[in-house]
């Protein structure tokens, strides 16, 4: 199946029809934002973090999203437990290495999760992907200090080592996996001014992975729809505050025509 407007829109329709449960172990900063984005798209978010309920919660989910933005020992235990349950059920796991490279604890945690969880899709910015791979990249907080294309070699290496599709966000988004590299040119320059939109991209990737079996296509569809919603929002926004408001509305109101006329993808 190619990455094109028709199949991308069919995936959106599938999310709206099936309302897949996306179980997110995510961070305090973005929890509300990502839950609302999933709801606006048509998915059903669950934000659960207690170790004691991981197996049961994953049992009702169609995808698992693990985001290391605000780490704690107990949350890390929950992440591993949830991943074990997700692998047993063979549902997709999306891992976001937020801030990898900023501290040794953070970088070490994401590498342990890569080995133990064996995620289906690894999604982050260039600095995070490079730091996860072991390159000498550092993040500025959770922001990238590298261009997305700088992380392509690291993405190929991670994919080869762990079997994961790698989704790199940036001015151009790159999806690497299965011998393919897909470039997504959608989005708007104001988007990095809104905290949590990267984490939102990861959450939406979970929704698309729940309905699109091919992880490369799922990741590409998610980033394309994310970028299209950002463009639509920027046309109405007066600044970052209203961009976030209109972004949620754009996900909710997006049509087949929006996807058809706006998607910009190189495969």
Check whether 71 has a pLDDT greater than 80.
yes
Predicted confidence at residue 196, as pLDDT, reads: 93
Predicted confidence at residue 1, as pLDDT, reads: 66
Domains and CATH numbers, the chain: 5-266 (3.40.1190.20)
Rounded average pLDDT over 81-108: 96
The secondary structure element, H or E, covering residue 47 is strand 44-47
Give percent of the chain above pLDDT 90: 91
Predicted confidence at residue 142, as pLDDT, reads: 47
Give tens-digit pLDDT for 227-241: 999 999 999 999 999
Q: Are 144 and 201 in contact (CB under 8 A)?
A: no
Give tens-digit pLDDT for 120-163: 999 999 999 999 998 544 454 444 456 788 899 999 999 999 99
Give the mean pLDDT of the chain.
Answer: 94
Report which of 100, 53, 264 is spatially closest to residue 198, judged by C-alpha positions.
Answer: 100
Predicted confidence at residue 267, as pLDDT, reads: 86
Give tens-digit pLDDT for 181-210: 999 999 999 999 999 999 999 999 999 999
- The span from the CA of 49 to the CA of 94, in Å, is 16
Strand partners, 25: 66
Predicted confidence at residue 18, as pLDDT, reads: 98
């Amino acid at each position: 199946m190619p990455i094109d407007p028709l199949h991308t829109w069919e995936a959106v329709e599938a999310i709206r029809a099936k309302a897949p449960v996306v179980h997110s172990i995510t961070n305090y900063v973005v929890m509300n934002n990502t839950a609302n984005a999933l709801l606006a798209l048509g998915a059903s978010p669950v934000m659960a973090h207690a170790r004691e309920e991981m197996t049961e919660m994953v049992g009702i989910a169609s995808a698992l999203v693990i985001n290391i933005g605000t780490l704690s020992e107990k949350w890390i235990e929950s992440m591993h437990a949830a991943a074990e349950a997700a692998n047993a059920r063979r549902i997709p796991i999306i891992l976001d290495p937020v801030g990898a490279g900023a501290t040794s604890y953070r970088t070490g945690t994401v590498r342990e999760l890569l080995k133990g969880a064996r995620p289906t899709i690894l999604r982050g910015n260039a600095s995070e992907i490079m730091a996860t791979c072991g390159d000498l990249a550092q993040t500025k907080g959770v922001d990238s200090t590298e261009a997305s294309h700088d992380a392509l070699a690291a993405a190929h290496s991670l994919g080869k080592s762990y079997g994961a599709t790698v989704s790199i966000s940036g001015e151009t988004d790159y999806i690497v996996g299965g011998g393919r590299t897909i470039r997504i040119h959608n989005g708007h320059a104001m988007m990095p001014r809104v905290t949590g939109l990267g984490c939102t991209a990861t959450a939406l990737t979970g929704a698309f992975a729940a309905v699109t079996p091919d992880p490369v296509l799922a990741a590409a569809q998610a980033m394309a729809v994310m970028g299209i919603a950002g463009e639509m929002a920027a046309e109405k926004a007066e600044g970052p505050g209203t961009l976030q408001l209109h972004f949620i509305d754009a996900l909710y109101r997006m049509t087949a025509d929006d996807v058809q006329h706006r998607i910009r993808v190189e495969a």
